[in-house]
Structure 1
Amino acid sequence: MSGSSLTAGEYLVRLLESYGVDLIFGIPGVHTVELYRGLPATKIRHVTPRHEQGAGFMADGYARVTGKPGVCFIVTGPGMTNIATAMGQAYADSVPMLVISAVNAREQLAMGQGRLHELPSQRNLVAGVSAFSHTLLDPDQLPEVMARAFTVFNSQRPRPVHIEIPLDVIVAPAGHLPTQAWPLPAKASAGAVDIEKAASILKSARRPLIVAGGGAADAAAEITAIAGKLDAPVFTTINGRGILKPGHPLALNGNLGMEPLLEELAASDAILAIGTEFGETEMYPEPKPLDFGGPLIRIDIDPLQLAAGLRCDLPIAADAKLAACALSAALGEGRPAGEGEARAKAVRAKVEAGLWPACRVHGRLMEIVTKTLPDAVVAGDQTEPVYAVNQFYQAPQPRSFFNSSTGYGTLGYGLPAAFGAKLGAPDRPSVCLIGDGGLQFSLQELASAVESRIATAVIIWNNTSYGEIKAFMADRDIPQIGVDIFTPDFVGLSRALGCAAALPGTIEELTQELAASATRDVPTVIEIRAGSSLASALAQ
């Protein structure tokens, strides 16, 4: 087809390809089929989830591993209400996601005529879970609107963007438009004066401490260098795991709500926080007020985040990697090694001494996973293994460990997110940690993974309940209603959906199934039942 005869829908996919998009998650519907007409003319791969929420979670996992936006084609109305939850998780955790949907024709918008999939306003629906939502009223707007979206992903705090295209605009002529991506603005650098102030504060500190979050995932080398120059222990949030390599002597464990970490924050005479909002979901099982023993320096790409939650003494609005690089240079050669490693070791020992019994079980589980599947990407749900593993797991590299216990906190996230992660990093093993309750939110996505040949080890912790909520209710003397749930035959269901599946009884069998998962081209579902002989063996 010549460029002059392209429709807006056909032009759109070519424009996406020019921005480096290589994968789209979507479920075709009568309102979006024209977006698919031009796909064969591109190299973009399409994956079909079984639910729009699954599409969003897959896009989320893909984006977290690659740093590129996950892209979704979503049908009008129910498609948008379905994906809104996934957009909420991505919004809370600053994950880039581009959601492109149809909407009723321009003359039908907001008329309330009972049209198919009609909503009063899709834009209003997703306003709270997107950086912006735009209704495309003319194909000529596409280059500019797409440039705005990718500017958010590249140069601002990355969050979902929604673009809706009326049915009559999707088929309108657009062959006259250029398909080249617009040049994007550079990421924000830190001011030289602020960097010098930060360096001065940190150089004079005797007990500096670093807190690094998911916003610093691309600044691992620079943060490691700063930690060495300052002889400063480093606490990484859940989304920041992997910034320090496993076994680094300055690495801390636990979470910011634990007494050893609270004590260390209070004893530190300078705190450098990079790419973190100090969210309450980093303080399991309940948030605690933070007391800093010295000035707080915060570096964040989002200026408004620097004025949220905690008062800081030196706010620096800048890209984490650029700012950390400048700060490392300003620190010079650094100081000789002192008490930093001893401080970190002492905190780690105190945290480990206070861990609850489940941490031993799931710690052993993760040892087996790590040994059997080195360099794995681990995506988790809201489930006992994840809450336990969050306290001590050291990811092999950044963008390798994430779960829905943070931010928005959605059940059913882990399975499709692990599939999206595998698609984003096909050469690395993919592991999903999920409970029997959360799995039933998104079990159908196993069929999508089989269809798309996605190899992932899906580890189910089956306690036949919403275990975390059940324990929460019991601790507060609340009747435990609605938390003991029927669970199906996961192994049988998984096999019926085309997966490999097993119920291992020993550690050896577990290891064998994990190893086999990396050789297959479909998911390997591994069920572990609480109270089983395998669970008992993991506890030893």
Structure 2
Amino acid sequence: MQQQKTLTGGQALVRLLATYGVDTLFGIPGVHTLELYRGLPGSGIRHVLTRHEQGAGFMADGYARVTGKPGVCFLITGPGVTNAATAIGQAHADSIPLLVISSVNHSASLGKGWGCLHETQDQRALTAPITAFSALALSPEDLPELVARAFAVFEGERPRPVHISVPLDVLAAPVARDWSRERMRRPGRGLPDSDALAAAAVRLASAKRPMIIAGGGALEAADALRALSDRLATPVFTSVAGKGLLPPEAPLNAGASLCVAPGWEMIAEADLVLAVGTEMADTDFWRDRLPLSGELIRIDIDPRKFNDVYPCSLALKGDARQSLEALLARLPEQGRAGQVAAARVARLREAIRTGHAPLQAIHQAILDRIAAVLPTNAFVSTDMTQLAYTGNYAFASRSPRSWLHPTGYGTLGYGLPAGIGAKLGAPDRPGLVLVGDGGFLYTAQELATATEELDSPLVVLLWNNDALGQIRDDMQALDIEPIGVLPRNPDFVGLARAFGCQVRQPGSLDELEHDLREGFSHPGVTLVELRHACAR
């Protein structure tokens, strides 16, 4: 019987990822990642070939947002890392767990400037500011410790990207022992201090007009959040990352409306605000500061959030779901009457819908047609485009992990690859991508990955106003002559056909609704190009 060969560092690393439950990774093989790819056959991990490393990062992000599991990508040394840096930065800004594994030049050459292929003087320095940590494995035996540390971040801290660089010689070196089946114990996030929970329960129970703001850190706490809202008759606002935490029909669901005036006015009425798993950043609210006049209690896993722009009177450090359940256990079981609060939320919704400016009214009409045909379990992946900006507050998500938007970093080119990654993470869920003509061209090449990998519905709704519309409007508002905002676009329909997509060009909103419905019944990728003039 032939004796099994000793594993290399690269092979053992791939097997270790499978041990941690990784089932999909995104990347482009290169001469500096060959030893990683040696380990993929037989590992049970699906490799998805992207067409750019930025696409690999965005796909891993979309996969993570929909599944709640870390997204993983393999990158080559140097340009692979720099190409993906924007996607890593986006995930860092939005607290998305990514495991980025890249090669780096041979150990003996690091930092010496020898002119090696793909050489970067200090690769860790590139990613350190946009990761929870960036580390260099100096031997194969460093890898299990670094991977364990990465998953400790994902499962026990504020989830953010982790970058592990592995020198070429370490990837190829034999392991001293087989550590590929060893997995750390899950650390968990734990509960806040018992006295702090008791104090928070007393203040919530005695507040006259309490309100809740919930963010992406509360995505696993939807049931507890709704129970607390119902018991205290408390309206719930969410950030964009928290859309869907309450169902659209919930009477106390105030939505992601803190970015528009009716939402600002309502939150100003609160005598106590409970903020759960949200950093309360200006990118959530489109203004420097919310008009909070009441007491602020915060639940967060990141202690740095307790004394930043919105210092709190009471800090509850811990897991959102466990913390809310602990509060419920300390509150009187007899709930409050919620008619007054529900009526206030109903007025808020009406004010938003009737208060649109002309452009946002056009967007609302489009979003209404989308809502009419969007399958119940679908997700929407959006780019930085005006249609999505309106959708952030005007489109109701039916469940968490159903509206993916690049909020914090605000990068163009996110929507399409993130939607592809989300589809691969949740293949049974239909997907819709909302993208503008400008952002689409950042990552349009990933249609090749979509048509190669997907056999269930992904609809790409391309909002084509033949402009960088938001920047044009901002220039005009500041009395700046518009420059560089009216590009000449390609034939998007011809481009999509070249990649193998089904294509549609609706000439009216009625046709849009029909074409979207057809797209959601097609087992593959459909591009629907909607021109601005056809939506009026």
TM range (shorter): over 0.9
Q: Amino acid of the residue matched to residue 30 of structure 1? A: V
Counterpart in the other structure of 2:395:
393
Shift, 1:183, TM fit: 1.1
| DSSP 3-state at the match of 1:218 | coil
Q: Does 1:109 align with 2:110?
A: yes
The secondary structure found in structure 1 opposite 2:529 is strand
Q: CA deviation at 1:508?
A: 4.2
Give distance in 1, aligned partners of 2:317 and 2:103.
36
Secondary structure, aligned partner of 1:390: helix
Q: Which residue of 2 aligns with 1:141?
A: 142
Counterpart in the other structure of 1:336 = 336
Cα deviation, residue 369, structure 1: 2.3
Q: Give me the whole-angstrom Cα distance separating, in 2, the residues matched to 1:261 and 1:509.
A: 33
Cross-structure match for 1:442: 443
* CA distance in structure 2 between the aligned counterparts of 1:497 and 1:293, rounded to whole angstroms: 54
Kept in 1: contact 2:273–2:294 (CA 8 A): yes
Give 1:344 deviation, angstroms: 1.2
Q: 2-side partners of 1:311 and 1:172: how far apart? A: 50
- Alpha-carbon distance, 1:254 to partner: 5.5
Distance 2:71 2:123 in 1: 20
Worse-superposed segment, 188-197 or 465-474: 188-197
1:187 — aligned with what? 189
CA distance in 1, matches of 2:129, 2:4: 37
In 1: Cα distance, 2:3 partner to 2:238 partner = 52
Correspondences of 1:279-298 after superposition (within 5 Å) = 279-284=281-286, 287-298=287-298
- The worse-fitting range, judged by mean Cα deviation, of 132-141 and 349-358 is 349-358
Distance 1:337 1:377 in 2: 34
Instruction: Return closer, same or farther for 1:298/1:342 CA change in 2, 3 Å cut-off.
Output: same
Deviations 1:435-491 (A, max 9, x none): 000001000000111111254100000011100010011111011000011111100
For the pair 1:31 / 2:48, whether they are aligned, the reply is no
Deviations 1:364-395 (A, max 9, x none): 32232233232210010111110111122111
Measure how far apart 1:3 and its partner are. 6.0
Instruction: Work out whether residues 274 and 296 of structure 2, in 8 Å CA contact, stay in contact via their aligned partners in 1.
Output: yes
2:527 alignment partner in structure 1: 525
**Cα shift at 1:310:** 0.9
Task: Give the Cα–Cα distance (whole angstroms) in 2 for the partners of residues 208 and 34 of structure 1.
Answer: 56
Q: Distance in 1 between matches of 2:213 and 2:391?
A: 19
Shift of 1:360: 2.7
Deviation of 1:175 after TM superposition, in Å, equals: 6.4
For 1:288 and 1:256, the matched residues in 2 are separated by: 12
The residue number in structure 1 matching 2:201 is 199
**Structure 2 CA distance, aligned partners of 1:121 and 1:175?**
28
Q: Is the 8 A contact 2:58 2:414 kept in 1?
A: yes
Deviation at 1:2, TM superposition (A): 6.3
After superposition, give the CA deviation of every residue in 1:111-165 in whole Å (9 maximum; x if it has no partner): 1010000011110010111000111001111111110000101110000000011
Contact 1:359 1:389 in 2 (8 A): no
User: Structure 2 CA distance, aligned partners of 1:108 and 1:318?
Assistant: 43
Q: TM-score, normalised by structure 2?
A: 0.96
Given residue 327 of structure 1, which amino acid in structure 2 is its aligned partner? L
Verify the 8 A CA contact 2:424 2:454 in the aligned structure 1. Answer: no
Q: Which moved more, 1:409-418 or 1:496-505?
A: 496-505
2:321 aligned partner: 321
Please give the root-mean-square deviation of Cα atoms over the aligned residues, in Å: 1.5
Give the Cα–Cα distance (whole angstroms) in 2 for the partners of residues 353 and 493 of structure 1.
Answer: 38
Q: Which residue of 2 aligns with 1:161?
A: 162
Q: Is the 2:7–2:178 contact (alpha carbons within 8 Å) kept by the matching residues of 1?
A: no
What corresponds to 2:308 in structure 1?
Answer: 308
Matches within 5 A, 1:222-233: 222-233=224-235
AA in 1 matched with 2:191 = S
Alignment partner, residue 497 of structure 2: 495
User: Which shows bigger deviation, 506-515 or 26-35?
Assistant: 506-515
Q: Which moved more, 1:118-127 or 1:302-311?
A: 302-311
User: What residue is the counterpart of 2:381 in the other structure?
Assistant: 379
SS of the residue aligned with 2:221?
Answer: helix
How far apart are the structure 2 equivalents of 1:266 and 1:382?
28
Equivalent position of 1:122 in the other structure? 123
Q: Could you say which residue in structure 1 is the equivalent of 2:417?
A: 416
Amino acid at match of 2:383: D
Aligned residues: 531
**Residue 512 of structure 2 contacts residue 530 of structure 2 at CA under 8 Å; is this kept in 1?**
no
Q: What whole-Å deviation, never above 9, does each CA across 1:340-361 have from its counterpart, x for those lacking one? A: 1112112222233322223332
User: Unpaired segments of 5 or more residues in structure 1?
Assistant: none
Q: 1:4: Cα distance to partner? A: 5.2
1:352 corresponding residue in structure 2 = 353
Q: How does 1:84-95 map to 2 (within 5 A)?
A: 84-95=85-96
Distance 2:365 2:522 in 1: 24
2:108 and 2:176 map into 1 onto residues whose CA distance is 23
Q: How high is the sequence identity, in percent, across the aligned residues? A: 48
Asked if residue 170 in structure 1 is aligned to residue 171 in structure 2, the reply is yes
In 1, Cα distance between equivalents of 2:77 and 2:17: 20
CA distance in 1, matches of 2:262, 2:364: 20
Contact residue 101 and residue 163 of structure 2 kept, 8 A:
yes
Amino acid at match of 1:461: W
Preserved contact between residue 270 and residue 293 of structure 2 (Cα < 8 Å) = yes
> What amino acid does structure 2 have at the position aligned with 1:307?
N
Which amino acid is the alignment partner of residue 146 of structure 1?
V
CA apart distance, 1:38 = 1.4
Counterpart AA for 2:343: A
CA contact (8 A) 1:22 1:45 kept: yes
In 1, the alpha carbon distance for the partners of 2:226 and 2:54 equals 37
Aligned to 2:276: 274
Partner of 1:78: 79
Q: What is the one-letter code of the residue matched to 1:368?
A: R
Distance in 1, matches of 2:212 and 2:70, equals 28
Q: Distance in 2 between matches of 1:216 and 1:269?
A: 22
Report the CA distance shift for 1:513/1:241 in structure 2 as closer, same or farther (over 3 A).
same
Aligned to 2:69: 68
TM-score scaled to structure 1, two decimals? 0.96
Give me the whole-angstrom Cα distance separating, in 1, the residues matched to 2:368 and 2:391. Answer: 10
In the other structure, the counterpart of 2:367 is 366
**Superposed displacement of residue 100, structure 1:** 0.2
CA shift digits 1:493-524 (9 cap, x unpaired):
00011111111123443233323323434310
SS across alignment from 1:46: strand
